[in-house]
Every structure is written in C-alpha cells, then in structure tokens.
C-alpha cells in the first residue's frame, strides 16, 4: 500500500537521524502534532527564552511561548490550505500550571472568537528543555461537507477563561472537548463529588465518571445527533492510575466493554483542583453515512483497555497501547531489568507496539505508512530515542508525526514505560 499522507514542513533534527513531521495532510484532514517553541539546533527558541540579563523586559515568557506556538499553527495550517476557522480539536500538555493562562491569552489573540474543543492537563516534562507548552491540533480542509459547525450545548459549557467551544461537528464526525466535573458555572458540581464530611457514601472516581457520562457526554452527543453507541475514541486522564478498574467498571456499564478506542493516561493534575479525571471524546452521528467499525482481536487483548481500533470513514483510531502480551509485560521487560542503560527493553517495547499497530491497520484496511498522529506518554523521556528508532524504521525514514511527554509513574501496567496513542488515515 502506497503512502497516502503528505508531511507538512518536515524537519531533520540537526546532529540526529530523527525525521519529524510537525504536520500531516491526510485527505481533508490536517494533523499538527507536538508543536513546541523549539529551535531544533538550540533547544528553546531564542525569542521565547529571552535575554537572561533582562529577564523582566517584554511579554511574560509563557505568553511568548504561546504566541510562538499559535504562529506556528497558523503557518502550518496555511501550508495545508486551511485556517483556525476549520479546526476541530486541540490537545495541550504543560509541566506547570503557570503556563496555562498566558497561553490562553495567546490562543484567544490568534484564534479569535472560535477556539475548537480543547483538552489541557498537567504532565511532568516535555521533550524540549525549558519548554512548558506542547500542543497538537486537528483541522479540516474546507469544503466536501466537512466545514466545522458548533453544537449548541447549554448544559455542557467551557470555563469562561478558556473560551473553547465544548462540541463541534465536521461532516458526520463529532468532537467533544475534555470534560471535568464542573457545573455550568465552572465550579465543582456537588453531584459529581463525595461530600467532604463523608468517609464513604460513594467513591470519587466513580461519582465523577458517572457525572461526565450522564451530565456531559450524553447531552453533548444528543445535541450533535449522536449517542454513546457511536462513540469512536476517548482519551481518559487519571490523577491516580489506581482508579483504572473503578473507571472501567463505570465506563463499560454505559459504553460496553471494548466498544470504542480508549486511551488511559496517568496525569499530574487538572485545571479543576478536586478533579480526578478528564475525558475527551470523538463520535459519529447516528444518521450519517459514516459508520463505526470495531477492529479487534488482531492483537493481545491485554495491550489495550478498549477496542484495538475503531474505523469510521477515512480515519482509523487506535486505543492506547502498551507492550503487553497474554502473560503480562513482554519478555524483554521481564528479563531486561538488569541492563537498563542499554536501551534494549525500551526499544523492544516500541517494536512490540509498532507490530501491533501494523496488525490493527491490516485488519482495518489501512497501512501504518499512513499514520497521521502519534502521542507517546513516557515515564522516562530518556528512552525516547531508543523507542523512536522503531518508528523511523517502520516508516522507511519518512517524517514521523510525534509528540512525547513524561507522565507520572506507574503506567496502567506498571512494568511498562510508554503508552502509544495513534491515529491512522484510512482512505
């Protein structure tokens, strides 16, 4: 199968063999992945780092960083023949909460009155030393019935300071922003939380998950002409990975086990202080021509918590994958602990995951060559390069659309050190 995606502004990282694609055009979709304020010869871009001898001159560092990222977004979108008006999803990760509000100011200045559904969570570390924002954006090329439409959701709102649209449609696809246990006024909703004076009478992760499904996703999907049964993919961020079984018990009771692609990611903190979970969602409409197809059974079930993949139209969305087989962590992890600095266990993890992605692509009528976005969640970014080689070889040295962040340990399978969340174009 020939490659059907076009890299946008690919970069060969100086003094390395890493070939990075900040953007991928895939049919009418445009994926911008891992956009940071980076000069790939120096590290943090000088315009953002500023003059260390004049630290308080000019705009705040995080505002400069946000402006740089938004300017890069605009440039890459223009190269793909689209603009901010046609964006449908934003994902942002920050190592510090202090970056968020200045970034929001930059985002508002760049995007104007329309900011697409957004997810922002705190993580431990980014690939660029000194960087405090990494962002990924999904857009469409206008026309062909995929123009972006806002979904009216009076019950599902966004915090006033963020300003994003809670839900949009593009053709038959529905994109819902990251949801937390907030009421319409932006404050914690008592229905989602165990009373502060109660030692029992509910369990916080279960209360918040039930609330998000019943009070956020059901109304938003209904307003968009969709339903839980047509959910394609969800990213779930947990402040305590120990909550995974409780979350899954509640989630599966509403969505069914392995009925959508599901990525569960350990997370440092959220914008809502008492929040323990944030979820974003992609779906298709109930009456549209684009139908949901579950792709499962082609890899060990233990690698994922949801369907191995879900195809809808020209997108194949995969669950977050870990290097696991039916017995648990792969043999290289079980036997390679005494040689942690040789990179063998790290590379073996990614090779196992890449093989699984190839298998899911084959089952879904797609090709790994058309991977459009890769999010890697590491517990040790020092393993990034060893793992990246597996991708570079799988794609024949073509540019790789990656971002990588460090998350708090442990992962949902504690011996594993990476989760891979991938989207593949399936024309």
Q: Are 305 and 257 in contact (CB under 8 A)?
A: no
Q: What is the mean pLDDT of the chain?
A: 95
| Average pLDDT rounded to a whole number, residues 370-393 | 96
Averaged pLDDT, 233-260: 98
- Domain 146-286 carries which CATH code? 3.30.1330.40
How much is the CA Rg of the chain, to the nearest whole Å? 20
Max intra-chain CA distance, the chain: 61
Interatomic CA distance for residues 393 and 398, integer angstroms: 9
- Alpha-helical segments (H) within 214-265: 218-223, 244-255
CA distances 277 to 68, 166, 238, 246, 391, Å, are 30, 17, 5, 12, 30
Pick left, alpha or beta for residue 300 (phi over 0 → left; psi -120 to 50 → alpha; otherwise beta): beta
The domains of the chain are located at: 29-142, 146-286, 291-427
Q: Please give the pLDDT value at position 145.
A: 84
Does residue 200 register a pLDDT over 90?
no
At residue 91, does pLDDT exceed 80?
A: yes
Instruction: Give 336's pLDDT tier (boundaries 50, 70, 90).
Output: low
pTM of the model: 0.96
Question: Residue 234: what pLDDT?
Answer: 98
pLDDT on residue 196: 81
Confidence (pLDDT) at 66:
98
Cα separation, 79 vs 81, whole angstroms:
6
pLDDT for the residue 338: 67
Residues 6+ apart with CB under 8 A from 326: 300, 301, 302
d(CA 169, CA 224): 7
CB 291 within 8 A of CB 284: yes
Question: Phi and psi of 158, rounded to 5°?
Answer: -115, 150
CB 423 within 8 A of CB 373: yes
In this structure, which topology does domain 29-142 adopt according to CATH? Answer: 60s Ribosomal Protein L30; Chain: A; (3.30.1330)
Average pLDDT over residues 86-99: 98
In three-state secondary structure terms, 227 is: coil
Phi and psi (nearest 5°) for 166?
A: -65, -35
Over residues 312-324, the mean pLDDT reads: 98
Contact by Cβ (8 Å): 150, 168 = yes
How would residue 186 be classed by pLDDT, with cut points 50, 70 and 90? confident
Q: How far separated are the first and last CA of the chain, in Å rounded?
A: 11
Q: Could you tell me how many residues make up the chain?
A: 427
Cβ(386)–Cβ(340) under 8 Å?
no
Note the pLDDT tens digit of each residue in 173-185.
999 999 999 988 8
Relative to beta strand 231-238, strand 277-284 is antiparallel
pLDDT greater than 90 at residue 161: no
**Sign of the CA dihedral running 269, 270, 271, 277:** negative
Q: For the domain made up of 291-427, give the CATH fold.
A: 60s Ribosomal Protein L30; Chain: A; (3.30.1330)
Question: Which segments of 197-342 does DSSP mark as H helices, in order?
Answer: 204-211, 218-223, 244-255, 331-335
Residue 415 has pLDDT above 70, yes or no: yes
Beta strands in 319-412 (DSSP E): 324-325, 328-329, 371-378, 402-406
Please say if the pLDDT value at position 279 is more than 60: yes
DSSP code of residue 205:
H
More confident residue, 197 or 248: 248
297: left (phi over 0), alpha (psi -120 to 50) or beta: left
Q: Which of 338, 214, 207 is nearest to 275 (CA)?
A: 207
What's the confidence (pLDDT) of residue 205? 96
Tens digits of residue pLDDT in 99-135 = 999 999 999 999 999 999 999 999 999 999 999 999 9
> pLDDT higher for 126 or 190?
126
Order the strands of the 402-406 sheet from edge to edge. Answer: 125-126, 402-406, 371-378, 418-425, 315-318, 309-312, 292-295
* CATH topology identical between 29-142 and 146-286: yes
């Amino acid at each position: 199968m020939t490659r059907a995606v076009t890299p946008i502004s690919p970069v060969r990282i100086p003094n390395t063999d890493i070939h990075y694609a900040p953007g991928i055009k895939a049919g009418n979709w445009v994926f911008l992945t891992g956009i940071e304020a980076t000069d790939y010869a120096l590290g943090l871009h000088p315009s953002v780092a500023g003059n260390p001898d004049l630290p308080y001159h000019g705009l705040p560092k995080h505002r400069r960083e946000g402006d740089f990222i938004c300017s890069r977004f605009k440039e890459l979108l223009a190269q793909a023949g689209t603009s901010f008006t046609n964006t449908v999803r934003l994902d942002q990760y920050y190592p510090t909460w202090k970056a968020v509000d200045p970034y929001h100011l930059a985002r508002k200045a760049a995007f104007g009155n329309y900011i697409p559904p957004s997810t922002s969570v705190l993580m431990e570390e980014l690939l660029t030393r000194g960087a405090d924002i990494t962002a990924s954006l999904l857009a469409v090329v206008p026309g062909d019935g995929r123009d972006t439409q806002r979904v009216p959701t009076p019950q599902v709102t966004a915090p006033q300071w963020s300003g994003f649209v809670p839900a949009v449609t593009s053709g038959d696809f529905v994109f819902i922003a990251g949801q937390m246990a907030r009421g319409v006024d932006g404050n914690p909703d008592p229905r989602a939380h165990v009373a502060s004076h109660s030692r029992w009478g509910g369990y916080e992760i279960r209360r918040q998950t039930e609330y998000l499904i019943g009070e956020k996703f059901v109304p938003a999907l209904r307003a968009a002409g969709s339903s839980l049964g047509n959910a394609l993919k969800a990213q779930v961020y947990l402040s305590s990975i120990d909550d995974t079984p409780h979350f899954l018990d509640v989630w599966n009771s509403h969505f069914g086990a392995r009925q959508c692609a599901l990525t569960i990611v350990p997370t440092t903190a959220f914008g809502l202080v008492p929040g323990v979970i944030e979820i974003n969602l992609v779906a298709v409409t109930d009456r549209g021509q684009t139908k949901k197809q579950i792709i499962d059974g082609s890899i060990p079930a233990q690698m994922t918590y949801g369907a191995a993949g879900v195809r809808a139209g020209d997108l194949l969305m995969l669950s977050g994958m870990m290097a696991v087989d039916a017995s648990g962590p792969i043999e290289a992890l079980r036997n390679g602990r005494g040689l942690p600095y040789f990179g063998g266990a790290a590379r073996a993890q990614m090779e196992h995951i890449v093989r699984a992605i190839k298998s899911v692509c084959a089952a879904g009528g797609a090709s790994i060559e058309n991977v459009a976005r890769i999010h890697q969640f590491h517990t040790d970014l020092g393993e990034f390069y060893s793992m990246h080689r597996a991708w570079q070889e799988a794609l024949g040295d073509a540019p790789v659309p990656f971002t990588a962040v460090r998350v708090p340990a442990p992962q949902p399978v504690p011996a594993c050190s990476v989760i891979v969340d991938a989207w593949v174009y399936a024309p």
